[in-house]
Structure 1
Amino acid sequence: MSNFSTPPLPKVSLVMTVYNTEAYLAEALESVLAQTFPDWELILWDDGSTDRSVAIAQNYAQKDARIRFQQGDRLGRGRALSQAHRLTQGEYVGWLDADDRLASTALQETVEFLDRHPEYGMVYTNHVNIDLRGQRQGLGQRCKIPYSPIGLLVDLLTFHFRLLRQSVFATIGGIRPEFTSAEDYDLSLRVAEVTQIYHLERPLYFYRINPQGISHQQQRLQRESSERAVNEALRRRGLERSLQLMVTEAGEFHLQQFAPWQAKPITDAARSHFKRGKSLAGQGDLAAAVACFQEAIRLQPDYIAAHNQLGNALQGLGQLEAAIAAYQHLLTFNPTLAQAYCNLGALWQIQGKTQNAIAAYQQAIQLKPDLAAARQNLANLRGDR
Structure 2
Amino acid sequence: MGTSVPAFSFLTTAYKTEDYLGDTIDSVVAQTFSDWELIVVDNGMSDEIAAIVESRSNDERIRLVRQENKGYDGGVMAASEIATGRYIVVLDSDDQIMPAFCDTISRAFDADPHIDAIGCDAYRFDDSGADLPTGYYRSTNVKQKPDPASPLTLTDLLGGLVPYYTAAIRREAWEAVGGYDRGGEELHESVAIWIRMVGKYDIRVLPQRLARFRLRGDSMTRDPAKVESFMAELERSFAWAAPSDPKEKAALDKTLRTFRYWVFLHRAQQALLAGRDRDARTSAREAFGQRRTVRAAAIIVSVNTIPGVLRRIHPLKQRITERVAHTAGRVVTAVKR
TM-score normalised by structure 1 residue count? 0.58
Q: Choose between structure 1 and 2 for higher RCO, CA contacts under 8 A separated by at least 6 residues.
A: 2
- Amino acid in structure 2 at the alignment position of 1:88: A
1:331-350 equivalent positions in 2, closer than 5 A? none
Cα deviations across residues 210-253 of structure 1 (Å, max 9, x unaligned)?
13146876433332222222222125x6779955643323149x
Is the counterpart of residue 132 in structure 1 residue 127 in structure 2?
Answer: yes
The 1:104/1:181 distance shift into structure 2, 3 A limit, reads farther
The 1:180/1:105 distance shift into structure 2, 3 A limit, reads farther
- State the match for 1:40 in structure 2: 36
Is the counterpart of residue 146 in structure 1 residue 154 in structure 2?
Answer: no
Q: Do the aligned residues in 2 keep the contact of 1:126 with 1:161 (CA within 8 Å)?
A: no
Q: Do the aligned residues in 1 keep the contact of 2:165 with 2:190 (CA within 8 Å)?
A: no
Q: 1:187 is matched with which residue: 163, 184, 193?
A: 193
- State the match for 2:100 in structure 1: 105
Is the counterpart of residue 9 in structure 1 residue 14 in structure 2?
Answer: no
Q: Give me the whole-angstrom Cα distance separating, in 2, the residues matched to 1:13 and 1:64.
A: 15
The 1:165/1:241 distance shift into structure 2, 3 A limit, reads closer
Is the counterpart of residue 171 in structure 1 residue 187 in structure 2?
Answer: no
1:59-78 equivalent positions in 2, closer than 5 A? 59-60=55-56, 62-78=57-73
Q: Give aligned pairs, total.
A: 246
The 1:221/1:85 distance shift into structure 2, 3 A limit, reads farther
Q: Do the aligned residues in 2 keep the contact of 1:120 with 1:195 (CA within 8 Å)?
A: yes
Q: How big is the shift at 1:166?
A: 0.7
- Aligned partner of residue 136 in structure 1, secondary structure: coil
- Amino acid in structure 2 at the alignment position of 1:201: P
- State the match for 1:155 in structure 2: 160
Q: Give me the whole-angstrom Cα distance separating, in 2, the residues matched to 1:241 and 1:158.
A: 17
- State the match for 1:197 in structure 2: 203
- Aligned partner of residue 240 in structure 2, secondary structure: helix
Q: Give me the whole-angstrom Cα distance separating, in 2, the residues matched to 1:154 and 1:179.
A: 22
Q: Do the aligned residues in 2 keep the contact of 1:126 with 1:160 (CA within 8 Å)?
A: no
- Amino acid in structure 1 at the alignment position of 2:114: E
Identical pairs, percent: 23
Cα deviations across residues 105-153 of structure 1 (Å, max 9, x unaligned)?
1011011101211222111111000010110102325256324521311
The 1:55/1:189 distance shift into structure 2, 3 A limit, reads same
The 1:8/1:54 distance shift into structure 2, 3 A limit, reads same
5+ residue gaps, structure 2, are: 147-151, 265-337
Q: Do the aligned residues in 1 keep the contact of 2:115 with 2:202 (CA within 8 Å)?
A: yes
The 1:126/1:46 distance shift into structure 2, 3 A limit, reads same
Q: Give me the whole-angstrom Cα distance separating, in 2, the residues matched to 1:140 and 1:219.
A: 22
The 1:126/1:179 distance shift into structure 2, 3 A limit, reads farther
5+ residue gaps, structure 1, are: 1-5, 253-385
- Aligned partner of residue 99 in structure 1, secondary structure: coil
Dislocated runs of 4+, deviation >6 Å: 238-241
- Amino acid in structure 2 at the alignment position of 1:222: F
Cα deviations across residues 154-178 of structure 1 (Å, max 9, x unaligned)?
4253114311111111222222334
The 1:241/1:141 distance shift into structure 2, 3 A limit, reads closer
Q: Do the aligned residues in 2 keep the contact of 1:78 with 1:181 (CA within 8 Å)?
A: no
- Amino acid in structure 1 at the alignment position of 2:13: T
TM-score normalised by structure 2 residue count? 0.66
Q: How big is the shift at 1:54?
A: 2.3
1:1-385 equivalent positions in 2, closer than 5 A? 7-48=3-44, 50=46, 52-60=48-56, 62-143=57-138, 145-147=144-146, 148-149=152-153, 150-155=155-160, 157-177=162-182, 178=184, 182-213=188-219, 218-235=226-243, 245=253, 246-247=256-257, 248-251=260-263
Q: Give me the whole-angstrom Cα distance separating, in 1, the residues matched to 2:179 and 2:4.
A: 24
- Provide the aligned C-alpha RMSD in A: 2.7
